[in-house]
Amino acid sequence: MPQQMTGAEMVIQALIDQGVTDIFGYPGGAVLPMYDAIFQQETVRHILVRHEQGATHMAEGYARSTGKVGVVLVTSGPGATNAVTGLTDALMDSVPIVCLTGQVATPLIGSDAFQECDTVGITRSCTKHNYLVKSVADLPRVLHEAFYIAQSGRPGPVLIDIPKDVQFAMGTYYGPTEIEATRHKSYRPQVEGDTRLIEAAVDMMLRAERPVFYTGGGVINAGPEASQHLRELAELTGFPVTSTLMGLGAFPGSNPQWLGMLGMHGSYEANMAMHDCDLMINIGARFDDRITGRIDAFSPGSRKIHVDIDPSSINKNIRIDLPIIGDCGRVLKEMVRIWRSKTNQPRTEAIAPWMKQIDGWRAKNSFGFQNSSTVIKPQYAVQRLYQATKDRDVYVTTEVGQHQMWAAQHFPFEMPNRWMTSGGLGTMGYGLPAAIGVQVAHPDALVIDIAGEASVQMTMQEMSTAVQYELPVKIFILNNERMGMVRQWQELLHGGRYAHSYSESLPDFVKLAEAYGGVGIKCDDPAKLDDAIAEMINVKRPVLFDCLVEKHENCLPMIPSGKPHNEMILPDFKGDVGKVIDAKGRELV
Amino acid sequence: MNAHLQATGSVYSLAPETQTPERHTLSVLVDNEPGILARIVGLFAARGFNIDSLTVSETEHEKGLSRITVVTVATPKVLTQIKLQLERLVPVHKVHDLTAEGKALERELALVKVASTGEPRAEALRLADAYRAQIVDATTESFVFEITGKPSKIDSFIAIMVPLGLVEVVRTGLAAISRGPEGM
Ligand SMILES: Cc1ncc(C[n+]2csc(CCOP(=O)(O)OP(=O)(O)O)c2C)c(N)n1
């Protein structure tokens, strides 16, 4: 039934009708009517953040761990500009977000009014789509459309800018079932893959001798069924599987066909398999430069199949032999069906020499490291954390840097939606708020942010949010007193001149935790690490765990910039790392 | 705009570009909504694509649709990316590469102001007649001609007006449509 209400009430009603139960926000003058509407209901819970960037990452963590849309509510001007980093992050990593911003009243737009900024202009290139709603009559349609756009096709952030007078205005509200435009009038991404192409893909797979599945975040975004179909297809074919940073968890880390993550800091076996394969089956990944390394030397002898819901990803960086546009889950399901219709045998025998070769690469133990009994090695810390938590309902987020890569290497996942990290944008400060968002969605789960001491200070104030809402997130800081990843690149590329990569004047994280009302734990002894981790897990409050680790550890293996996959630096590298990268490679990031 | 940038070639590709750039006319059917032009132009700027000419106008009022004609110069690989990136935009309905789809009709209108007296003025008039340009303004020492046609015809008309007292030119940019019975 269409109802009369104010614009502000419509916003809250639309959230309820879209099944939203939690939103992340921060009030201000231009959103007061919406806050008033929030105050007068109990269906939607509002989490008050400490900085709008925090709200966006919380919404991302919430969305990635549930598959639902994350919702953000911030004020005009500085509220909106503070949200820009998180919106860009969500765009790069295809995370469905709806961000509601307040705007000055329509007659004031363009007058340089107090806290006015051109929000739709600023966010045009960092959202999938955005709207400025100038009339309350358009508001119900735009609200429902935003949810549709955020989660259909390749997901992404959608922003709705709502002037204050529109929030006050009375209008007619329609629910999502009462209005045709719940879907956008023309936006219809292709989700079903072309069966003939899928059949051709299966035929290629049936002839492959050195195949590899290269999977990405698209499999996670396609929902848990997609991961199920991937597992089925891997079992039916017997092919090995690797994944990008964003796709971890779609395939079980314990499966013998699993090669580990690929890319710049991926495993030797994964990267060598990519380089030497004769058939690459890319499901929902985008040939990012962290994966391909040097493009003209990327997997020179393979035919390539690429399944993606975004047609613009096809042939963007790498030439594809067989593109299939569609939702990864649906295409995988079709692949399973067609494979079954053609054979009931995996190609185990045909690919046996290939698997043997892979075992040879695996034997290099490329994630290996020299452990120590006197200082905690960061890799060891992640391994112990994994051992202590693997039988629990655990979710992991990260910040950005070496610790992020060590987490990806040493913390395997069995299920999708368990791993939240900033891949495309590489946003330091993502992990702590993302963990809070995950914990809001999964109150009883164990949620850990594997952090670096530099990154975590970018959004540290959200500890206060965690304490306020009794969200017992565990912030596990691999503290090397360095911006480790920057330090590593300076060692590799700039003659060891460590310009400003030393974290001088660090806070006492234990006292800091206590100051926020959380719990602080410190550990610098490998022998005491397990006990300290157990203590962290058992505390039912937010914890800052200051894990003091080796200060100069390099994150290896590594494909040096400008080099192909088969020229990785392995952990047993003995030469001078400062000499590996040539002048051309130095220009790359 | 940014002609030197290889928009879709990664910096990780150390191999030189082998394809040669071509000039193509794209017809883009979009929702006529606020900000749509900024979205299109912003996409070209952000990804380092060229715009040689751009024409925008509402074409189907009841459906709220506009047609944008963009002329761009890019390699075949980049052209494909331009088309696909445009199609990703939510308010974009369709993108047609009129050049790739066969000989399209292309027309442009220009207003050309020429100021001269005596023989050059008489010569300008004769040439305008030969080019079927209309006189839309005249004073004793100047004319404004209106000329419609293919861009190449307008180019050559402008070129021959230079020695005859050309003062200034405005051009509409390209309007283009495919031949034959099919619509977009
Ligand atoms: C917001 C932001 N600023 C700068 C960078 C560049 N950057 C990448 S990693 C890194 C250092 C991270 O240090 P830390 O969080 O201590 O992690 P570590 O590498 O030591 O594990 C920096 C500065 C970034 N990724 N994000």
Residues B23 and B71 in one domain: yes
Structure tokens at A560: 């040096």
Asked if the structure places residue B10 within a domain, the reply is no
**Chain B (28-57) residues lying within 8 Å, Cβ to Cβ, of chain A:** 31, 34-35, 38-39, 42-43, 46
Residue A138, φ and ψ in degrees, nearest 5: -85, -15
CB within 8 Å: A186 and B93: yes
Residues B75 and B112 in one domain: no
> With pLDDT > 70 as the criterion, what percentage of chain A qualifies?
99
Ligand 1: distance of its center to the CA of A454 in Å? 7
Residues B25 and B90 in one domain: yes
CB within 8 Å: B12 and A316: no
Please say which residue of B43, B72, B101 terminates a domain: B101
Contact B68, B30 (CB under 8 A): yes
Asked if the structure places residue B5 within a domain, the reply is no
Distance from CA of A536 to the nearest CA of B (A): 43
Ligand 1: distance of its center to the CA of A429 in Å? 9
Statement: residue A129 has pLDDT above 60: yes
d(CA A180, CA A305) in angstroms, rounded, equals 37
Residue with tokens 């789809």: B101
pLDDT digits (tens, 9 = 90+) for A170-228: 999 999 988 765 678 889 999 999 999 999 999 999 999 999 999 999 999 999 999 99
pLDDT of residue A484: 97
Q: In this structure, what CATH number is given to the domain that contains residue B77? A: 3.30.70.260
pLDDT of residue A401: 98
Nearest residue to A440 (alpha-carbon basis) of A161, A3, A58: A58
d(CA A169, CA A369) in angstroms, rounded, equals 63
d(CA A396, CA A414) in angstroms, rounded, equals 12
Asked if the structure places residue B14 within a domain, the reply is no
SS3 label, residue A153: coil
Active-site annotation holds for A485:
yes
d(CA B99, CA B181) in angstroms, rounded, equals 17
Q: Which of B12, B40, B81 to mutate to test the interface with A (most CBs of A within 10 A)?
A: B12
B183 CB-contact burial (10 Å; exposed 0-12 / middle 13-18 / buried 19+): exposed
Asked if the structure places residue B167 within a domain, the reply is yes
Asked if the structure places residue B6 within a domain, the reply is no
Peptide bond into A557 cis (omega under 30): yes
d(CA A413, CA B136) in angstroms, rounded, equals 74
Residues B95 and B117 in one domain: no
Q: Which of B90, B92, B95 to mutate to test the interface with A (most CBs of A within 10 A)?
A: B90
A/B interface, count of CB pairs below 8 Å? 65
Residues B97 and B129 in one domain: no
d(CA A228, CA A219) in angstroms, rounded, equals 10
Q: In this structure, what CATH number is given to the domain that contains residue B156? A: 3.30.70.1150
Contact A162, A134 (CB under 8 A): no
Residues B30 and B85 in one domain: yes
pTM of the shown model: 0.95
The distance in angstroms from the start CA to the end CA of chain A is: 55
The beta-carbon contacts of B167-171 under 8 Å, at least 24 apart in sequence, are B167/B113, B167/B114, B167/B115, B167/B142, B168/B113, B169/B110, B169/B111, B169/B112, B169/B113, B170/B110, B170/B111, B171/B108, B171/B109, B171/B110
Residues B112 and B93 in one domain: no
Residues B92 and B39 in one domain: yes
SS3 label, residue B69: strand
> With pLDDT > 90 as the criterion, what percentage of chain A qualifies?
91
In the 8-state DSSP scheme, what is residue A194? P
Residue A421, φ and ψ in degrees, nearest 5: -145, 160
In the 8-state DSSP scheme, what is residue A93? T
Asked if the structure places residue B31 within a domain, the reply is yes
Provide the residue range defining the domain that includes B61. Answer: 19-101
Statement: residue A162 has pLDDT above 70: yes
Asked if the structure places residue B140 within a domain, the reply is yes
Residues B26 and B97 in one domain: yes
pLDDT of residue B26: 97
d(CA A285, CA A150) in angstroms, rounded, equals 19
Residues B89 and B114 in one domain: no
Residues B56 and B119 in one domain: no
Statement: residue B8 has pLDDT above 60: no
Statement: residue A425 has pLDDT above 80: yes
Q: Could you tell me how far CA A120 lies from the centroid of its own chain?
A: 24
Q: Does B12 contact A at CB distance below 8 Å?
A: yes
pLDDT of residue A293: 85
pLDDT of residue A562: 79
H helix runs in A67-177, sequence order = 78-82, 84-92, 119-123, 139-151, 164-168
d(CA A304, CA A292) in angstroms, rounded, equals 13
Mean pLDDT value of segment B113-135: 97
Active-site annotation holds for A228:
no
Which atom of ligand 1 is the closest one to the Cα of A429?
1
Ligand 1: distance of its center to the CA of B141 in Å? 69
What is the ipTM for the molecules in this complex? Answer: 0.90
Please say which residue of B70, B101, B132 terminates a domain: B101
Residues B59 and B43 in one domain: yes
In the 8-state DSSP scheme, what is residue A142? H
At residue A157's C-alpha, the angle toward residues A152 and A162, to 5°, is 115
d(CA A388, CA A10) in angstroms, rounded, equals 46
- Widest distance between CA atoms in chain B: 63
Measure the CA dihedral A384/A386/A388/A393, to 10°. 170
Distance from CA of A339 to the nearest CA of B (A): 31
Asked if the structure places residue B183 within a domain, the reply is no
SS3 label, residue A490: helix
CA atoms within a 13 Å half-sphere pointing along the CA-CB vector of A273? 36
A46-60, A173-187, A403-417: which range is least confident on average?
A173-187
The number of folded domains in chain B is 2
